[in-house]
Structure 1
Amino acid sequence: MSRRLLHITEEETAAVVDEDLALQAAREAFAATVDGAVFPGLAVHGSDPKNRFTLKPSASATHAGVKIGSYWPGNPEQGLPRHHSTLLLLDQTIGRIAAVLEVGKANAYRTAAADALAVDLLARPDATTLAVFGTGHQAAYEVRAVSRVRPVAEVLVVGRDEDRAARMAADLAAEGRTAMVTGAEEACARADVIVTATNATADAPPLFQAAWVRPGTHISCMGADAPGKRELDPELFSVARVFCDLPEQARRMGESQHAPDKTVLTPLGEVLTGRVSGRTDDADITVFDSSGIGLQDLCLGLALLEKLDMTL
């Protein structure tokens, strides 16, 4: 039987994705992690080891697929972004590809939505000051997503390149936000919420010291999504309550690959569905280790198809 293969272009998905769609898809995905199948991702590299990509498989009761997320650092020389993502959805009756969705921009919304969901579930209700570490592709998406779940009044931008940090602060100010560049220690001293969105690795110093983080802070970290990557001071694991998308994956390729074996990793989906408590005290330091799961991509892809009035 011949079936039509859907091809949804980058331009089509980018035109309909927004923070609300991505956040709702994240809620559905993390709720599904509690009783459904969750498969760990795989981080590999291209023929040139500096070019990396991840495979994120997923399945629900009705759909299944895999997201391929690529990072080609030399792309700007060709006028292309470093990051791109492609979602493949399977025809559940015959096992062939039913749809190909290009979701480069949508993936940035998807990643930020998971971090914002963690902020919504774990940060203090009165959190208004956001510190963002990183000035690259993902950072501004994180600011906008967190601003959907907390009344962010001030954004503190921390970057190792001062010029890029200044440009990002100016861009956020142009959106009507109060944004300024600060150092890492000052940002930690003032922030209610910290988001880390960098490519930092374990052979470099952490982005900030655990001792700088004040009681009551929530941290969503998304940069560690492959073995050898690290953003946080390992000492944070001794003072913080740690949440993640999938414990098995977080210990292998997330920030928690650097955590002591005794560290308790609580799936965020269990907080979302009320099975465990999130923040229990205003003084809690909470960390969300976001390495990304395929269910996020599946739920986002299906939401995009619905928004585009398309069905498999």
Structure 2
Amino acid sequence: MSVGGALVFYSAFDAPGEWTAALKAAMPGLDVRVARVPDGAVEGDPAQVETALVWKPPHGFFSAFPNLSLVINLGAGVDALVARDDLPDVPVTRLSDPHMAQMMASFVLFAVLRHARDIPAFEKAQRERRWHYLHPRVAGEIRVGVLGLGELGAAAALEIARHGFDVRGWSRSPKTLPGIACASGIKALPGFLAAADILVVMLPLTPQTRGLLDAERLALLPEGAAFINVARGPVVDEAALIGALRAGRIGAATLDVFEVEPLPAESPLWGMENVLVTPHLASVAIPASAAAQIAENIRRVKAGEAVLNRVDPGRGY
């Protein structure tokens, strides 16, 4: 494939060497330039850069490249990118990788099974050297609500259903998934929450979803429900969640995302026995499998074709 412009890579969290190797394998001849962290400085003529593959670059980063024609978000969640006031007027895409969906689905399944099989209770009993028998529940008797049925949410919902759980899904607009009872629209949200023994939050962060799960909506969950968040921390009122966990209204939680990341050392979530904290790793971009999509979108831009997985900044995803 003939390659013209250069690609600039910026991320403080991803290994540039792995991405450079994967991109060059998918698109031989591609000029990959790694921007310096944290200031975003890049060697070479900035006018040659036509593509930016980024995760949370510094403010003003894009203005250095006058011929930029494509911005690729280094992940599926684009809230940090579309909220910027320095985003250039060029196509913005997100990564859509089957391996990312598989990784997310496996993490969500782990979290659901952990709560469904009462593992937190057994962990507590072990620490106390106490034999504690709880009779296992049948999967079909446990209602799992998946809040958000985008690409990752749908994959997770289908995987949970494959293991026999009673899975219900909610989305802003109507969706249809085999074996999943799907609801949509804000009016359907209270009933959806009231029927979730285990709630899995998988919504994108947008102006409409920020703070969606406030104290009033969290109180709609069944007494002792389990709570899993693998989406974005600000979708949930964290203080209200902590209060519900302390009171036992929510029995346990698996939290991969938080209002502030890294989670501050003083957060009470660290010391709560009914909470599992993981450092925002439920699903990550995988260079070897994502590079093909990136190369295809570069080709499409050069050919004047529509890009895949384009983001609508107005909608936030």
More strand by share: 1
Q: With structure 2 as the length reference, what TM-score do the two structures score?
A: 0.46
Higher relative contact order (CA 8 A, sep 6+): 1
Q: With structure 1 as the length reference, what TM-score do the two structures score?
A: 0.47
